[in-house]
Amino acid sequence: MQAVGRPSTEKIVVFSLLAAGVFVVGLLLLINSVTESSREKALATVDAEAQRIGNSGPSMLDKAAAVAAPFVAHVGAGRFAEAHALLAAPYRNAVPVEAFAKACRASPILAAARSVTLNRLRQQSAGTAATIEASGVLDSGAGAVPIGFVMLPEAEGLRILVVSLANVAVLQGVTPR
């Protein structure tokens, strides 16, 4: 039997460096594989969320603005019958167009309305009932004023129940006047 010789120091260093190199390459490949799979899952999640948001339609704030903007334009132009049609059923049923027009004319700021920009929305629910509170800025010939709307969802879409200027109700269908 022949004795196995001891490897030289140079061979030990070379084999150690080769083993370390193979280990580092293997570790890098493993990290890359895990990172790629995690990245693909994250991208799929982001794509699905973007698709869901894209297909959800207009936001509730956009829906409120789609009612508030024509309402303000109609009131500012003196088209009170058209504005009255955008009111919630309880308001329309309690207040005839003539009384509504008189209330609009009684507010010089509202009567001189040009446009509205909504920038905040709050939705409240109790059981099946819901209200939408939208607020923003009214641009009027009398100046810019904070405006608030309380809206009710109806079959035709959102409809206006209360209009407030600077937190004072100027048009409201909650109590008889």
Print pLDDT tens along the chain (177 aa): 666 778 888 888 999 999 999 999 999 999 998 898 888 888 888 888 777 766 666 789 999 999 999 999 999 999 999 999 999 999 999 999 999 999 999 999 999 999 999 999 999 988 888 889 999 999 998 889 999 999 999 999 999 999 999 989 898 876 555
Instruction: Compute, in degrees rounded to 10, the torsion defined by CA atoms 31, 37, 38, 42.
Output: 150
Domain assignments of the chain as residue spans, ordered by start: 9-57, 60-172
Instruction: Give the 3-state secondary structure of 15-58.
Output: HHHHHHHHHHHHHHHHHHHHHHHHHHHHHHHHHHHHHHHHHCCC
Q: What confidence score (pLDDT) does residue 11 get? A: 86
Contacts of 155 (CB under 8 A, 6+ apart): none
Q: What confidence score (pLDDT) does residue 142 get? A: 82
Q: What confidence score (pLDDT) does residue 129 get? A: 85
Contacts of 106 (CB under 8 A, 6+ apart): 170
Q: What confidence score (pLDDT) does residue 164 get? A: 95
* 164/173 Cα distance (integer angstroms): 12
Q: Which CATH class is domain 60-172?
A: alpha beta
